[in-house]
Amino acid sequence: QLTICNTPGAQTTRVADGFVLTHCGPEVAVASTKTLTASITALYLLAIRIAAVRGVIGQAQVAELVGELAHMPGLIGDTLKLDDRIGRIASTVAQHRNFLFLARGIEFPMAMEGALKLKEVSYIHAEGYPAGEMKHGPIALIDREMPVVAIALDDGSRDKMLSNIEQVRARDGIVIGIVTEGDAEIAAKCEHVIELPHTTPLLYPLLSAVPMQLLSYHIAVRRGCDVDQPRNLAKTVTVE
């Protein structure tokens, strides 16, 4: 049993067979942001190590993958510069009561993260849903009252996400597209666009989480919510 934790001496580190500390410093706000990024990074490094030990990848590939990771602080910094643009998008959708987050493959957990953050800090109902399942229910809900955040990056699922976006727009849905920088085709299909810098597909989740967290933050502020101490939530919980 292995745990990934940010707090030295936490109960999980004492009961698990092994642990990985993320060393990302205290996170005061209840909604976790940087600890999510640090945990994904730890899992990425763990996966690289396991792959190397099993002989799935060689040392050259290890060096390449770790090298790509070393660029992430700068790329995340570039993404944070989109704050003003994301704030303007938030102003147009802050009063909606329902949101849908769509993604495929490795980005699907990030769609769930986007929905979770929006629920936590703005008290808006939101769902993270696999885009491949959109026709099996959620498509019936799409209209001008439910904005759709679509993660459509250059990670192998891009063309299918484009099709999903076209289906939403055909039903007069509002699409907030999180796309790869320079992807004019998808950008033209979206009502609002957030462009992320290029990186290796495996690392896009580290980038895509950031604009969704910022969007949730700005929507919450515009709704007058306390983003640091959301109602009914606590930093730690007791589980029966």
Res. 240 pLDDT band, cuts 50 70 90: low
pLDDT, tens digit, 9 for 90 and up, residues 62-73: 999 999 999 999
Structure tokens at 159: 């063309």
Helix (H, G, I), strand (E, B) or coil at 207: helix
Q: What is the pLDDT of residue 195?
A: 98
Cα 138–Cα 163–Cα 102 angle in degrees, nearest 5:
40
Under DSSP, the state recorded for 153 is: -
pLDDT over 70 at 29, yes or no: yes
Q: Which residues contact 146 (CB under 8 A, 6 or more apart)?
A: 96, 98, 99, 100, 173, 174
pLDDT, tens digit, 9 for 90 and up, residues 145-190: 999 999 999 988 999 999 999 999 999 999 999 999 999 999 999 9
Q: What is the pLDDT of residue 229?
A: 86
Q: d(Cα 93, Cα 147) in Å, to the nearest integer?
A: 7
Under DSSP, the state recorded for 7 is: S
Res. 238 pLDDT band, cuts 50 70 90: low
Res. 237 pLDDT band, cuts 50 70 90: low
List, in order of start, the domains of the chain with CATH numbers: 2-70 (no CATH), 77-222 (3.40.50.10490)
Identify the CA nearest to 97 among candidates 120, 123, 128.
123
pLDDT, tens digit, 9 for 90 and up, residues 10-21: 888 899 999 999
Q: Which residues contact 126 (CB under 8 A, 6 or more apart)?
A: 98, 99, 100, 101, 114, 115, 116, 118, 119
Report CA 56 to chain centroid distance, whole Å: 28
